[in-house]
Amino acid sequence: QAKRSGKNNYAFYNATQDNDSVERAELEKEMRESIDNNFSGFSVFYQPQTDNAGMVIGAEALLRWTLSDGTQVPPIQFIPLAEYLGLIVPVGEFVLRESAQVCRRVNETHPEFWTSINVSIRQFQQQDFLQRVMMIMEETGVNTANIVFEITEGMAMYDITRMKSLSEEFREHGIRISMDDFGTGYSSLSNMRELPIDIVKIDRTFIRDITTDAYSKSFIRLIIDLVHSMGRKVCVEGVETAEQLKYCQECNADYVQGFHLHVPVSLDEFEKIINLKQD
């Protein structure tokens, strides 16, 4: 079935790395039920992002999905499926609404705090995506200056012109754009020049390998300097050790995100973290 529905869809289907079509059909059924049932089973986790002094300054919203039998399905498995089925559009809106609400609440005590939200190519492809987003911004009352959209280089491959114009429109409405998983795509540097990017998130494979791979180590320093010279900010993702954090600080990374600082946590846990940081 996947093979018949066109090249793009086939690529998404492949990305699930799930060869069991029975299991896939089960997951599809559960996903549709979950969505119809007011997104039951879906929840948003938050992973704090800190500045280079260790202060929490933002959080990435990360979707979680638990099946009715209690099984947790990893995002790497259900996100590509949701994209393939087009269900990432309603699910993505759920994430946007939830995390915008949370952000607005946090902003009452931490006005600078932002929420960084992963946006799928399927959402960007919707003709009325901008209008739908702005409706949610108004409904939730969040300040758009506290919202960041994470896009990937893979998305730029589909339609760079649309990516560029839509990203520019979002920026005109105050929403910042972040380039996720930077350095893993085919044309990272040209994308960075083409697209109106506020924050570059260096893919976690680069920081992971700094002790074993001189190239990764230089890449981080070089990209940070380059991005700074373009007047933009850098976030290093996947910081897992004190040594890696130290290197980010040495290189003047603006923001860091990783298990060494904070793992993604439920809203309850997140609110505890945020309130502790208040004083």
Q: Interface with ligand C2E by CB under 6 A: which residues? A: 47, 62-63, 74-76, 79, 88, 92, 95, 118, 120, 150, 180-181, 204, 238-240, 257-259, 264
Q: How far is the CB of 269 from ligand C2E (least distance, A)?
A: 14
Return the structure tokens found at 34.
């979950």
Helices (H) and strands (E) in the chain, counts: 13, 9
Q: Round to the nearest angstrom and report the end-to-end CA distance of the chain.
A: 56
Cite the DSSP H helix spans in 141-197.
153-158, 160-172, 188-194
Q: How far is the CB of 279 from ligand C2E (least distance, A)?
A: 26
133/151 with CB nearer Mg ion: 151
Q: How far is the CB of 61 from ligand C2E (least distance, A)?
A: 6
**Which among Mg ion, ligand C2E, none contacts residue 56 (Cβ within 5 to 8 A by kind)?**
none
**Host H or E run for residue 29:** helix 21-36
Query: DSSP characters for 31-56?
Result: HHHHHHTTTTTEEEEEEEEEETTS-E
* 120 near Mg ion, judged by CB under 5 A: no
* 257 near Mg ion, judged by CB under 5 A: no
Question: Which position among 180, 199, 210, 224 is part of the footprint of Mg ion (CB under 5 A)?
Answer: 180
96/192 with CB nearer ligand C2E: 96
* 93 near Mg ion, judged by CB under 5 A: no
Question: Which position among 98, 150, 153, 254 is part of the footprint of Mg ion (CB under 5 A)?
Answer: 150
86/231 with CB nearer ligand C2E: 86
Q: How far is the CB of 189 from ligand C2E (least distance, A)?
A: 20
Return the structure tokens found at 134.
């702005």
- Say how far residue 62 (Cα) sits from the centre of its chain: 7
Q: What is the DSSP letter of 114?
A: E
63/251 with CB nearer ligand C2E: 63
Q: How far apart (Å, rounded) are the C-alpha atoms in residues 102 and 107?
A: 9
47/50 with CB nearer ligand C2E: 47
63/142 with CB nearer ligand C2E: 63
User: One-letter amino acid identity for 207?
Assistant: I
- The count of residues in the chain is 279
For the chain, the C-alpha Rg in angstroms (whole number) is 19
For residue 174, the cross-strand partners are none
**Which among ligand C2E, Mg ion, none contacts residue 146 (Cβ within 5 to 8 A by kind)?**
none
Q: How far is the CB of 96 from ligand C2E (least distance, A)?
A: 8
